Amino acid sequence: MTAIISQNNPEALVDEREAASILCYSVRALQNWRHRGGGPRFVKVSSRSIRYRRSDLTQWVEDRIVSNTSQATI
């Protein structure tokens, strides 16, 4: 029951494995973006614990939607 509730909650926190799955990218890609910048916003719970809000993942995708290849990219 908790998993269903958290999937519907845009403010629910997900670990980097689930975030990578949602975005269809690898965990390593998320790690590189955190280090270099350019990826979705994240929550640093502790020095070794990173989480992502579902709403931030959705917003990151929405910010990258374009209708043709000549549109400016981020």
Q: What is the pLDDT of residues 20-45, one digit of tens each?
A: 999 999 999 999 999 999 899 999 99
Higher-pLDDT residue of 5, 31: 31
Look at residue 64 and tell me if it is in a domain: no
**What are the backbone angles phi and psi of residue 50, rounded to the nearest 5°?**
-115, 140
Look at residue 22 and tell me if it is in a domain: yes
Torsion over CA: 53, 54, 57, 58 (sign): negative
pTM for this structure? 0.81
Look at residue 53 and tell me if it is in a domain: yes
Mean pLDDT along residues 7-32: 92
User: What percentage of the chain reaches a pLDDT higher than 90?
Assistant: 65
Look at residue 42 and tell me if it is in a domain: yes
Boundaries of domain holding 55: 9-59
Look at residue 20 and tell me if it is in a domain: yes
Q: What is the DSSP letter of 64?
A: T
**Tell me, what CATH number does 49's domain have?**
1.10.10.10
Per-residue b or e along 34-67, where b marks 16 or more CB atoms closer than 10 Å to that residue's CB: beeeebbebeeeeeeebbbbbebbeebeeeeeee
For residue 61, pLDDT over 80 is answered with yes
Look at residue 67 and tell me if it is in a domain: no
Q: What is the domain count for the chain? A: 1
